[in-house]
Amino acid sequence: MASKRYILQIFVLLFIFLPFTNSIHFKFPSFFNFGDSNSDTGELVSAGIESLESPHGQGYFRIPSGRYCDGRLIIDFLMDAMDLPFLNAYLDSIGIPSFRKGCNFAAAGSTIQPASAQAVSPFSFGVQVAQFVRFKARVIELLAKGKRLDKYLPAQDYFQKGLYMFDIGQNDLAGAFYSKTYDQILALIPTILIEFETGIKALYDQGARNFWIHNTGPLGCLAQNVAKFGTDPASLDEQGCVSKHNQAAKVFNLQLHALTKKLQGQYTDSNFTYVDIYTIKYNLISNYSKLGFEQPIMACCGFGGPPLNYDSRIACGKTKEINGTTVTAKACNDSSEYINWDGIHYSEAANQYVSSQILTGKYSDPPFSDKMPFLLNLKF
């Protein structure tokens, strides 16, 4: 297993370094992120809505860090690649957090659409945008009082010069499958994207000019969805993923891509970059063995054992009574062999691979050019 991990590390480094022989020499001074658990660095936990116990964070951080992962997320690797500190969550108020280089508003369970009463997270995209507006106003107010807080807060011009990052929409689609037909979900996508467009326009009105938009990944390849919707083998594709979930994601992504193009044409003084996360993740799952992984879909941390090691009644790290027996959802021996961490979220090893592919620029529209943000100072 160790030899396969070395192969993966070499593969990642090759994909990072080779395409950047003519790398750009440009950095954004700040970053503002909006999203769900794919990029939540502690928001939902800081809000007191959920708690994460060990083995979350067992890898890089050694303790639970507010991330739904054994270690770092894609956004962590991207920040690290730019030699910048990890983004603090907006609601993380303990320990004198620094927001000098930006702020993360992403919260696990969040949707683009307004949250329902039953939603895990009340921090829908519109709420996250409202939090940003409050954050910006408060920063400007504090900066006007003197330089005492300068080292903790972004400079006023950072709001226009910064990069605004988005990774949200997965929960809108995945949640809809519990109550709607496939055709109803497809019909809902334009409404979801109208809400997203409204948020983007609000940020533009606040001075945002650089937008970095991730599409949504292959939902049908998550153990949670395979366990619920993949019991009929006919519903699965050749990789063992739920076909209709992935088809819905593709339709969403096509329309999101079109919206990105529309916004670029509408706001000619701005830069919009669309990043094809779906293709990167599906390629990873399709070629998992070549890339050093042992399990493409089965969760590392869960309960139930093969083939999915996922039980919706108990989350990673939790202990509860099931069928009269007290059980704990424990982690596997080596999470770097697994693409999936807990049945819903990717492992640190998988996030590292996805980040390396993002940084090639091949999966972006437009591809990397002199306008793109990444000057690599790699640490991983």
In this structure, the number of other CB atoms found within 10 A of the CB of residue 126 comes to 18
Exposed e or buried b per residue across 273-299, where buried means at least 16 C-beta atoms within 10 angstroms of its C-beta: bbbbbbbbbbbbbbebeebbbbbbbbb
What's the full length of the chain, in residues?
A: 380
Token pair, residue 317, equals 């790290």
Phi-psi region at 279: left, alpha or beta (left = phi > 0; alpha = psi -120 to 50): alpha
Q: Which residues are catalytic?
A: 37, 342, 345
